[in-house]
Amino acid sequence: MKSTKIIFFLSVSLSVLSCKKDKEEVTEEFNKKEMLTNYGNNIIVPAYEELELAISNLENAVSNFVSVSNSANLQTLRNNYLTAYLQWQNCSFMEFGPSENYTLKTICNTYPVDTSLINSNISSGSYVLGSASNTTAIGFPALDFLLFPDSSLSLALATINGNNAANKKQYITDLVQQIKAGVNSTLSSWRGSYLSSFNTSDGNGQGSSLSEIVNAINLDFEKFTRDGKIGIPLGVRSLGTALPEKTESFYSKNSLILFKESILGLKNYFNGTSSSNIGLDDYLNHLNDNNETARLSEKINNQFDLILQKAEVLSDPISIAVTTEQANVQALYDELQKMIVLLKVDMSSALSVLITYQDNDGD
């Protein structure tokens, strides 16, 4: 009898030991599901809800302007347009899952627009906004072009009410409807089955929620923030020749405030800012417990602040600054570049997440 007992205990403890080997020897486990739930419930869904509300206000403003096309209604329309565009900046880095499925970023914010394509769509009155050939004639950038033909409100109103006025207003209406449909589809997928699977998919492999978050942040930051908002207008892809017309919100000249909003939004997102506040920063701190003197989360937060400081220096919209304050824009670009190293190399490796987005496989 005794010997059986001993064998029992031995074998059990042996198998327990061999199980433990696979896990990390951390005293306190980080609750990844809690972090993901914070992102899903308290940050991502509310961000799309706020966008939905802003689009709904924009839709009303369009409808009022179409019925009474006066300068007061145009001003309200422009204000609501800017509010919605600002809120989009807080959603741009969440392009995975439902938003990726509906290509929300392409629908909302593809620029520069092809103004001759927009004009020909308007004059023909015949177009499918969702088709591949119209991706440069839609979204906030197309609204930017149509609502700001002139910075002066009265001159802009005269232009909008001029040639092809009815078709133009129909086009503006259709643009907002397309954005609305994309946001609504995204939100209803999130409210459906996606949220619970997102909150509980707590691995770090391809397709896990952490991998989706980290890849979406990096893709957005590298291609759309560093390159799209700053680098391309500055001329980093054109041998130093500035390309101001490629700036975001070129016609309404809101590029700088949109840029700042996107950096602030991403900083909050990184820190999981909400009622419960558990974000990537906490997860990094947890993994980095032994190295409190040089925490990666602090480096990243400091770099966000540095980027914002460099942006504060600029006095003009980016489209003008790339020629009048070229050195300052370059300094801002350099800080964005440094952030890529922190996010794409240091953060992804600390979190053991593989960067999976690549433009193509070279063939």
Q: Which residues bind another protein (CB under 8 A)?
A: 1, 4-5, 7-8, 11-12, 15-16, 18-19, 22, 97, 100-103, 106, 110, 128, 130-133, 135-136, 205-207, 357, 359-360, 362
245 vs 305, beta carbon nearer another protein: 245
Cα 10 to Cα 345: distance, rounded to the nearest angstrom: 44
DSSP for 92-111, written as a single string: GGG-STHHHHTTHHHHH---
What is the nearest approach in angstroms of another protein to the Cβ of residue 4? 5
Compare residues 4 and 67 and give the one whose CB is closer to another protein.
4
* Shortest distance in whole angstroms from residue 266 CB to another protein: 20
Residue number with CB closer to another protein (164 or 356): 356
Whichever of 197 and 309 has its CB closer to another protein, that residue is: 197
Name the minimum Å distance from CB 158 to another protein: 32
Query: CB 85 → another protein: shortest distance, Å?
Result: 17
Provide the angle, in degrees to the nearest 10, between the axes of the packed helices 296-313 and 255-270.
170
What is the closest distance, in whole angstroms, from the C-beta atom of residue 294 to another protein in the complex? 33
Residue 199 CA: distances (Å) to CA of 40, 62, 285: 6, 37, 21
220 or 261, CB closer to another protein? 220
CB atoms within 10 A of CB 57: 17
**Least separation, in Å, of the C-beta of 157 and another protein?**
30
User: How many angstroms separate the first and last alpha carbons of the chain?
Assistant: 70
Tokens for 337, please give them.
């570049």
Query: Do residues 198 and 205 make contact, with C-beta atoms less than 8 angstroms apart?
Result: no
| Residue closer to another protein, measured from CB, 67 or 362 | 362
CB of 172 to another protein, least distance (A): 20
Q: How far, rounded to the nearest angstrom, does the alpha carbon of residue 313 sit from its chain's CA centroid?
A: 23
How many CB atoms neighbour CB 251 within 10 A?
21
Residues in the chain: 363
Distance in angstroms (rounded) separating the CA atoms of residues 285 and 280: 9
Please identify, using beta-carbon distances, which residue of 190 and 304 lies nearer to another protein: 190
Is 244:319 a contact under the CB 8 Å cutoff?
A: yes
